[in-house]
């Protein structure tokens, strides 16, 4: 059974992710973490989905069955679990969330004792244990060795202090009117508290989760919702989080969504000017617009690219000794502050940038123009390896000679091929895409 995807284990709650599967997964993870255990404690948090109750209880059962004590902290952002796992000296942390997905889905993300997401090798090791029925049976414990669980409700304060400490001490948010969309998710308590304690006038929306309304027509997936509210209340900025608050989308004072690549560029240049950028570089994914690369290059900053997924961004950041990176989708990583994408930590850095610039959000977060980019998805009958497709290189050669960047890859979950082209001349990009679509229609 294949469990792990690009970001932990994710699927329809009660179907792929049912109680029995979760219990087995918890036992397998517990057996794996136990090899290097120092505290015999694992932290468990969740977002606001109704299915979180089922999954949380199954996780507790599986972990205690192999001797772990479990600390349950209830609804908290994913980056809070990463931070608290290390802060509370736990062997591991587990977040129950399907991020920006609808309420029907749920997921399980694992963090090691340093608060880092598990790499592929660790995930494969857990999956191997999961599929070893004999080992799963023999590694269960009995008697006094069975673990216990307890719920702690006051750790929210630790995370709030940690996020607030990342905001420059010489600044405050007094006089700023901010619209915050919590997506009816995990940040519905902590988000408003942080902004209000820093002095902002906060208009909070979608902070009444009912177990089913997480991400529903709101949050980072639907930022147009608070665009209207920003205009109506004449706010300085809008902040839209997703269900587990690891993603951030910015809406400027005009009510318009700020492009993710432009946001990365503006923040990276800000860090560089403040002499806070390490490694003289930035990490983005293969999906980021080349205009970002050219903009950073003009500032003397090198752009490195990773695979799609914030954990891959972080891997390249560590490899290159860089403390800033992100995805155009809104996962922004300030590794000096957070172990993973953190919508609230990123929000404070954006607000600091605006305050220090003395400009409006629409000015300071629009540092360059994007190159025309076209993304097209095509259904395929078979995922033939790209290097085995005859004629592909011959088709791409003249496209690349025109300075057009291409990214061709298969979907990891569907029978689809994803075609991305970008270049400075829109007509050339459009013509090249028609050529590619026609080619793949014939061969796939």
Give the residue numbers marked as catalytic.
99
Rounded CA separation 178/162 (Å):
21
Rounded CA separation 331/248 (Å):
7
Between the alpha carbon of residue 206 and those of residues 269, 351, 380, the distances in Å are 32, 21, 39
Instruction: Find out whether 378 and 408 touch, Cβ atoms under 8 Å.
Output: no
Instruction: Find out whether 115 and 89 touch, Cβ atoms under 8 Å.
Output: no
CA 286 to chain CA mean position, Å = 16
Q: What is the arrangement of strands in the sheet containing 373-379, beginning at the earlier edge strand?
A: 373-379, 416-422, 405-410
Helix ranges restricted to H, 139-177 = 156-164
Please give the span between the terminal C-alpha atoms of the chain, in angstroms, as a whole number: 28
Instruction: Find out whether 76 and 45 touch, Cβ atoms under 8 Å.
Output: yes
Check residue 117 and report its DSSP letter.
B
Question: What are phi and psi for residue 220, nearest 5 degrees?
Answer: -60, -25
Number of residues in the chain = 444
């Amino acid at each position: 059974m294949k469990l792990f995807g690009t970001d932990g284990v994710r699927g329809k709650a009660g179907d792929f992710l049912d109680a029995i599967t979760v219990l087995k997964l918890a036992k397998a993870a517990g057996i794996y973490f136990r090899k290097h255990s120092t505290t015999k404690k694992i932290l468990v948090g969740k977002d606001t989905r109704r299915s979180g109750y089922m999954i949380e209880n199954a996780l507790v059962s599986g972990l205690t069955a192999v001797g772990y004590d479990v600390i349950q902290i209830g609804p908290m952002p994913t980056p809070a679990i990463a931070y608290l796992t290390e802060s509370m000296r736990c062997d591991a942390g587990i977040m129950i969330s399907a991020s920006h997905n609808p309420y029907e889905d749920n997921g399980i993300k694992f963090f090691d004792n340093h608060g880092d997401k598990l790499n592929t090798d660790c995930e494969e090791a857990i999956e191997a244990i999961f599929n070893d029925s004999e080992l799963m049976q023999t590694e269960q414990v009995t008697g006094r060795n069975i673990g216990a669980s307890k719920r702690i409700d006051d750790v929210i304060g630790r995370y709030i202090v940690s996020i607030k400490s990342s905001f420059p001490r010489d600044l405050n948010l007094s006089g700023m009117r901010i619209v915050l969309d919590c997506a009816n998710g995990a940040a519905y308590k902590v988000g408003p508290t942080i902004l209000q304690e820093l002095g902002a006038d906060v208009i909070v929306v979608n902070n009444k989760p009912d177990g089913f309304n997480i991400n529903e027509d709101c949050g980072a997936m639907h930022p147009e919702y608070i665009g209207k509210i920003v205009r109506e209340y004449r706010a300085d900025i809008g902040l839209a989080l997703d269900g587990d608050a690891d993603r951030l989308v910015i809406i400027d004072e005009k009510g318009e969504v700020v492009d993710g690549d432009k946001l990365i560029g503006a923040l990276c240049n800000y860090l560089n000017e403040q002499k806070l950028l390490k490694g003289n570089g930035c990490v983005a994914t293969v999906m980021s617009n080349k205009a970002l690369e050219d903009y950073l290059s003009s500032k003397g900053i090198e752009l490195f690219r990773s695979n799609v997924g914030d954990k891959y961004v972080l891997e390249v950041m560590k490899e290159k000794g860089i403390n800033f990176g992100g995805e155009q989708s809104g996962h922004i990583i300030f590794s000096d502050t957070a172990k993973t994408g953190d919508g609230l930590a990123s929000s404070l850095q954006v607000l600091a940038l605006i305050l220090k610039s003395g400009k409006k959000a629409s000015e300071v977060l629009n540092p360059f123009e994007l190159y025309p980019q076209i993304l097209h998805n095509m259904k395929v009958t078979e995922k033939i390896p790209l290097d085995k497709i005859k004629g592909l290189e011959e088709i791409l050669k003249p496209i690349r000679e025109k300075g057009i960047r291409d990214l061709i890859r298969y979907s990891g979950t569907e029978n689809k091929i994803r075609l991305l082209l970008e270049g400075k001349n829109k007509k050339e990009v459009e013509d090249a895409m028609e050529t590619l679509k026609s080619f793949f229609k014939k061969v796939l």
